[in-house]
Amino acid sequence: MIKEIKLKNKLLALLIGVSDVNEGTHPITDSKYALQLLMMKRKTGHVFAKHTHKIIPRTVPTMQEAIVITKGKLLVTVCDRDGTYVGKYEVSAGQCLFVVEGGFGIDVLEDVCFYEFKNGPHEDDKVLL
């Protein structure tokens, strides 16, 4: 399940669940995004070849973030870069919210543990809306 969260026709975020994932590797994000997200489902015994990636200069003008919930539940308020309200979305264990562009706020609905990924380098660049 992938729910697109948009304001007008602009994609701001993706809410991703794992309930209907087929076997294999599935790109979730556009290959031009600063932060790449793949979903993988593999059976016991599958082997990924040892690998690394080429060091190449990368310039990214925007911050993208992904929140992966391992336990509990959040209520995430999504807005555009100007703070215009788009909606509130529950994000629970096993789900991922991928912020393509815009902003968000978080209310903890249940004790929660989650990972937050963002493209770096990390700077003190947070703008409160």
pLDDT tens digit sequence for 3-26: 999 999 999 999 998 777 889 999
* Band (31; pLDDT cuts 50, 70, 90): confident
pLDDT number for residue 128: 81
The CB-side HSE value for 35 (13 A sphere, CA atoms) comes to 19
Averaged pLDDT for residues 44-50: 96
Of 111 and 58, the one with more pLDDT? 111
Quote the distance between the C-alpha of residue 95 and its chain's center: 9
Return the domain boundaries, the chain: 1-20+63-119
pLDDT tens digit sequence for 78-92: 999 999 999 999 999
Q: Work out the percent of the chain whose per-residue pLDDT is above 70.
A: 98
What are the residues whose beta carbons fall under 8 Å from the beta carbon of 38, sequence distance 6 or more? Answer: 25, 26, 27, 28
pLDDT number for residue 107: 98
Quickly tell me which residue has 């669940």 as its tokens.
17
Give DSSP secondary structure letters for 5-66: EEETTEEEEEEE--TTPPSEEEE-S-TTSSS--EEEE--TT--PPP----------SS--EE
Listed residue (15, 10, 58) closest to 33, CA to CA = 58
Quote the distance between the C-alpha of residue 115 and its chain's center: 10
> Yes or no: is domain 1-20+63-119 CATH 2.60.120?
yes
